[in-house]
Chains A and B, each alone.
Chain A
Amino acid sequence: MVIKLNPGAVITTPGNSVENKTGGWRSLRPVWDKKKCTQCMICWTYCPDISIPQKDGKRLETDFDFCKGCGICKQVCPFHAIIMEKEKK
């Protein structure tokens, strides 16, 4: 991505943070067990980075372009459907 360096660091194309993939910061990776998941959506509510997408009231696979591996989803899941594994990349 080419960034235009306006004086004062003004960004004239707001909302462009989707182009800046930040998932590379992750050292732990949430692994989602679909069988244990009851679709209670607590993880979706708590994810601070909107990295758990949803469709028709059901969560989908974590968006690894932005998930930073904070582990909050694992912490709040009442059904132990998420475990954190060491990122291998």
Chain B
Amino acid sequence: MKKVTEASQAVAEAVRLCRPGVIPVYPITPQTHIPERIADFVNNGEFDCELIYMESEHSAISAAIGSSAGGARTYTATASQGLALMHEILHIVSGMRLPVVMNVANRALSAPINIWNDHQDSISARDTGWIQLYVESSQEALDTTIMAFRIAEDKNVMLPIMVCLDGFTLSHVYEPIDIPDQKKVDNFLPKFTPLFKLDPKAPVTMGPVGFPDTFMDFKKQQQDAFDASLNIIKKTNSGFKKDFERSYGDGLVEGYMLDDADYVFVGMGTICGTARVVIDTMRKKGNKVGMLKLKCFRPFPEKEIIDSLSKAKAVAVFDRAVSFGHKGPVFSEIASAFCQAGKRPVLHSFIAGLGGRDVTLDHIEGAFSRIKKEKLPVSEWLM
């Protein structure tokens, strides 16, 4: 069914189609439209689900542990300070290998207080053991949320996933979307069968102490699951293409005008839509420019990034977050990926669009002209 709607509502449609049994949630700008729309569905009898209004994000993600451990497909959504408040529990969800799916409507972190978009919230949760997928459009937000349940619940993965969409810039923007049929989603997404579940008839212990003789082994299992997830994300993306006739690159990265590009833009989220426009205009003038959209930030698709960028002369990495005292987080990781690679482009770092500051066509075109001229790596804040 075609519909014009905002990404938040598109995500709510995706959640309804995936039939989670339990949704513990706490509202925070700019995520609120997601649970609001889900509440409408439940209230109208269109969606049979235990929707629990919690007293904080810390409680919401804690309740998600309980319901996922009990064997229910579990979903929640948050943003910014809410994600920060969840922080300690995020590690527990992943450590217990519970495949919770959560949308993050990306927003800046205080102080000063700011409700607008950047990626500092989810980037600050980088090492919590969650898979992180970033989306560019409402359709991609809907589709990726459906894919996320299948990836998370794969027996070789069993890891929680954050599907990150830019706050306001995407969450509140109306676009035409295609809402898939329930039957098709049921066919794509099998019923959730947990590896273990809390059941009084067959008791198990979850969340025990891990002494030094076992703790590290469990951490290695998580790392192995991340390694395995690279392939499963790709397979899920191609499976989605087969069933729904849509896909996003190889599921990990997506190239645009990349094959013969000498100068490449790299970014995550809605900024990539702006870059497409710049690239189209510059191509018409004969500039060999292209884009690599990083859809999957964790696991970090090192091989795919090296394969996509090694032919380029120079790369402009745009970060909507900063690792204070160093550089852009995406930039640092791409630089680290190229450290051992034979042939590498000159890598430039641009920090842009913090706290909702506009990233304009001129910013991106300016970055392209800059990296064309500069011989040495640039590290710049686009103010």
Contact = CB atoms under 8 A, between A and B. Distances in A.
A10 B206 contact: yes
A28 B335 CA distance: 55
Given A14-B203, A14-B204, A14-B205, A8 B214 contact: no
Interface string A9-27: 1111010000000000000
B98 interface: yes
B158 A9 contact: no
A63 B208 CA distance: 23
Interface size class of A (residues with CB under 8 A): 10 to 19
Nearest to A10: B196
Contacts of B203: 14
B217 A5 contact: yes
A9 B94 CA distance: 11
B95 interface: yes
Contact of B207 (A3, A6, A9): A9
B206 A8 contact: yes
B196 A9 contact: no
A3 B209 CA distance: 13
A85 B208 CA distance: 32
B19 interface: no
Interface in B198-223: 203-208, 210, 214, 217-218, 221
Indicate the member of A6, A10, A12 with the most B CB atoms within 10 Å: A10
Given A5-B214, A5-B217, A5-B221, A10 B204 contact: yes
B341 interface: no
B205 A8 contact: no
Given A14-B203, A14-B204, A6 B196 contact: yes
Contacts, number: 44
B205 A7 contact: no
Contacts of A5: 214, 217-218, 221
B96 interface: yes
Interface string B314-340: 000000000000000000000000000
B195 interface: yes
A8 B96 contact: yes
Nearest to B210: A9
Contacts of B221: 5, 7
A3 B204 contact: no
A14 B205 CA distance: 6
B221 to A, nearest CB: 6
B293 interface: no
A21 to B, nearest CB: 13
B214 A3 contact: yes
Contacts of A3: 214
B73 interface: no
B196 A12 contact: yes
B298 interface: no
A11 B203 CA distance: 9
A8 B204 contact: no
B58 interface: no
Contacts of B225: 7
A88 to B, nearest CB: 25
18 contacts: A3-B214, A5-B214, A5-B218, A5-B221, A6-B195, A7-B158, A8-B96, A8-B98, A8-B195, A8-B196, A9-B206, A9-B207, A9-B210, A11-B205, A11-B208, A12-B196, A14-B203, A14-B204
Given A8-B196, A10-B96, A11-B205, 19 more contacts: A3-B214, A5-B217, A5-B221, A6-B195, A6-B196, A7-B195, A8-B95, A8-B98, A9-B95, A9-B208, A9-B218, A10-B195, A10-B196, A10-B205, A11-B206, A11-B208, A12-B204, A14-B203, A14-B205
Interface of A: 3, 5-12, 14
Q: Which 7 A-B pairs have the closest CB atoms?
A: A8-B97, A11-B205, A8-B96, A10-B196, A7-B97, A14-B205, A14-B203
Interface of B: 95-98, 158, 195-196, 203-208, 210, 214, 217-218, 221, 225
